[in-house]
Structure 1
Amino acid sequence: MSKRLIAIVSIFFSCYSVASQNPTKYSIESSFSYGRLLAHRPIMKKLVANNSYSFEATINFNTNGKKLNHRYYNYPIYGLTLNYTNPGNKIQIGNIVSTYGFFSLPLYNKKNALRFKLGLGVGWVEKTFDLQRNFQNTAIGSHINTNIQLKFEKVIPINKLNQLKWAILLNHLSNGSFQTPNLGLNIVQIQAAYLFGIKQQQIDTSKLEIKELKSSELSIYNSSAVKENQTPLSNKYYINETTLQYNFRKGPKTSYISGADIIVNNSLLEFTGNKIQLGVFIGHLMHLNNLKIGIQLGAYLYNRKDESETIYNKLFCEYDFSNRIYSRLSLKSHWAKADFFSLGIGYRIL
């Protein structure tokens, strides 16, 4: 690519992204949230006793344009959060403590734009299902769970170092059927926060080399999981999944994907007498340098459990260790019903 074109593109991104630049390099954030546990299944209505509230402490790392993806995504924010939540039911659920990493992206190119935040981490739930002592808690069967937070947030600047923020969020905790019951906890809240900035941001406006992107990739990956069926305290079943995936790159931020899954699912033996499943899928992949976030929508071609599980979907993240090798963490579900979490490794063939 010519030096002239690199210069033009660099100037374009500098002008386009100026509205989303962050004034400080870091910021410390404290917040209070208030809302309610959702009874997303009728059996969970008894768990909703009172309104919920949360406290969060967060450190934000504001990007400065040093990498191309900073400019493509209008200066995203990365960070780490520690969360305490009272879900509104101290007797059956108790306290919740979680920590998660996140990224936050502006939804449009405007100063102090509305942002979308996605967090992924680990949460501890104090009180879980117990057949003798806590049979009312049909939502969570394990103390340790995956924590996923979705948030829409808006910053209100006070001055260069101080900001206020309001947000609407959904906080989800589940273990992907590793230990049942696993209906999961979904808490919806509104949030108010105060941010204190540390160290003035130095925006990098230098010319960056724009690498030529491969138009397509073919990958294979293998992952493993462990799950229980719906009966609490039942056996755990090993699951192995092999996937062949084709990526069609559509610009620096996006890939469209399609492929096939071969699944060895031992939990199906008691339902269908067969542990082999075949499925095909389509999806979307968002590129954030070495980190990638993806979604898939698939359908079983062979050996579905029942009619309610004809369609499956996945939310996953990948991290590139090299040009060929990457890891993947995935949550597979049937609509809103989690099936299992899996962890695996992939290899790019082409």
Structure 2
Amino acid sequence: MAVLCGSLTAFAQAEEGFGIEANPMAGRVFKHTKRFLGPIPPVSGGLDLNFLWKTRGNKDWQYRRHFPTVGIGITYTSYDRQYYGQGIGFYPNLELPLIRGNRLEWCMRFGMGLGYISKHYTRYAPDYDTLNNAIGGHINNFSLLASDLRLHLNKHWDVQAGINFTHMSSAKFRLPNLGINLLAGHIGVRYFPNTSSPARREKKVPALSNRWLLQFRQGIAMSTGESIGSTATPVYLSALYISKRYWSKNKVFAGIDYSYHESLYNFQRLQGIHPGDEKQYAWKSGVYAGHEFLYGHVGLMMQIGVYIHQAILPSPLLYEKLGMNWYLLQSESGIVKECWISTLLKTHYSTAELAELGVGVSF
């Protein structure tokens, strides 16, 4: 243990731009849908820790993105004691400067990862709790969006204040999946053992072409269907779209997607609905448009779509997807230009529907 601590200390002292921040936070859970039945705690709070690195220009994308800060965050939240319990979130994150000055800066931070929550809906004795219809299981998606106004005291210390929004839900892997949304304020400090202003490497970054690509993605998700306690079954998702890169660091795209829900097929079989034609009423399709911010081998993707075909149990007309593409191949030549793995969260407004894992290819 002493060797490990010594190694971490030596790394922190030697690595320019490495820092640690701590943000105590307090706020309130809010009901984002009328179906949210549980009581709202008067106050919920916790602590957000973030291990961060300020980029210095080792890669071309760091220049194009004006040297953003990347991090690995761990968040503890005490929602309450009786209904929602405590939550832990583990998430990679990216900080984007909005206004940057010598002493003051304003920034946004976004992260998505895994979460654990101690309490969830259960209808079995002795721990039954049917008021908590927000969370269906212990393991969840965890997402954070924060904004900070920061004051640089010296090369080692910063102080900051801001607001953050956190979301915890099972994305229909376990019902109920309404999720818990917390809006909170925070104050915090940052400490850099070496310096908060690492020396940037000077280099000339070539401009990339504003190319068009044909892209295809195939994904899978798990859904428990429409009944609490039912078995999780697969959802198969496909997307075909075109994209255009601009400014060497962004993409806009538009296309069509398709999803087949095995749970809706089983629902019709169980209820004796559309015998022999169940598959025709178990799929959805939509057209969509979106944007992707490119950060080297990682892309932050968001899209909004409208259904052109609904399944037997219709959803709201609009849907959204938010997540990350993890690029395994990025090439400026050849037939295959990109290959990637995607981790996406599909929602209808503020209610999560699916957590999708996919693979994709671009031509």
TM-score interval, smaller chain: 0.7 to 0.9
Aligned to 1:218: 214
- Paired residues of 1:64 and 1:75 also in contact (CA < 8 A): yes
Aligned to 1:347: 361
1:268, distance to aligned residue in structure 2 (A): 2.9
TM-score (norm 1): 0.87
Q: After TM superposition, list the pairs within 5 Å mapping 1:8-157 onto structure 2.
A: 25-44=17-36, 46-87=38-79, 89-111=80-102, 112-132=104-124, 133-157=128-152
The change in CA–CA distance for 1:31 and 1:214 in structure 2 (over 3 A counts) is same
- Paired residues of 2:144 and 2:164 also in contact (CA < 8 A): yes
- Separation in 1, partners of 2:52, 2:192: 9
Aligned amino acid, residue 251 of structure 2 = S
- Separation in 2, partners of 1:277, 1:36: 35
Identify unmatched segments of 5+ residues in structure 2.
1-14, 269-273, 331-337
1:235 to 223, 231, 240: 231
- Separation in 2, partners of 1:209, 1:284: 23
Aligned to 2:303: 296
- Paired residues of 1:97 and 1:125 also in contact (CA < 8 A): yes
Aligned to 1:255: 251
SS at match of 2:63: helix
Matched, 1:325 2:325: no
Aligned amino acid, residue 250 of structure 1 = Y
- Separation in 2, partners of 1:217, 1:43: 42
- Paired residues of 2:144 and 2:166 also in contact (CA < 8 A): yes
- Paired residues of 1:262 and 1:279 also in contact (CA < 8 A): yes
* Bigger mean CA offset, 40-49 vs 59-68: 40-49
The change in CA–CA distance for 1:135 and 1:216 in structure 2 (over 3 A counts) is same
SS at match of 1:84: strand
Identify unmatched segments of 5+ residues in structure 1.
1-22
TM-score (norm 2): 0.84
SS at match of 2:62: helix
1:73, distance to aligned residue in structure 2 (A): 2.5
- Paired residues of 1:291 and 1:320 also in contact (CA < 8 A): yes
Matched residue count:
326
1:335 to 335, 343, 349: 349
Aligned to 1:244: 240
* Bigger mean CA offset, 298-307 vs 52-61: 298-307
1:45, distance to aligned residue in structure 2 (A): 5.6
1:217, distance to aligned residue in structure 2 (A): 0.9
- Separation in 1, partners of 2:94, 2:312: 36
Q: After TM superposition, list the pairs within 5 Å mapping 1:269-284 onto structure 2.
A: 269=265, 270=267, 273=278, 274-284=281-291
- Separation in 1, partners of 2:312, 2:161: 43
- Separation in 2, partners of 1:305, 1:62: 49
1:286 to 281, 290, 293: 293
Q: CA RMSD in A?
A: 2.0
1:196, distance to aligned residue in structure 2 (A): 1.0
Aligned to 1:195: 190
Aligned amino acid, residue 227 of structure 1 = S
- Paired residues of 1:73 and 1:106 also in contact (CA < 8 A): no
Aligned amino acid, residue 22 of structure 2 = S
SS at match of 2:136: coil
- Separation in 2, partners of 1:204, 1:98: 32
- Aligned sequence identity (%): 21
- Paired residues of 1:65 and 1:203 also in contact (CA < 8 A): no
- Paired residues of 2:282 and 2:312 also in contact (CA < 8 A): no
SS at match of 1:309: coil
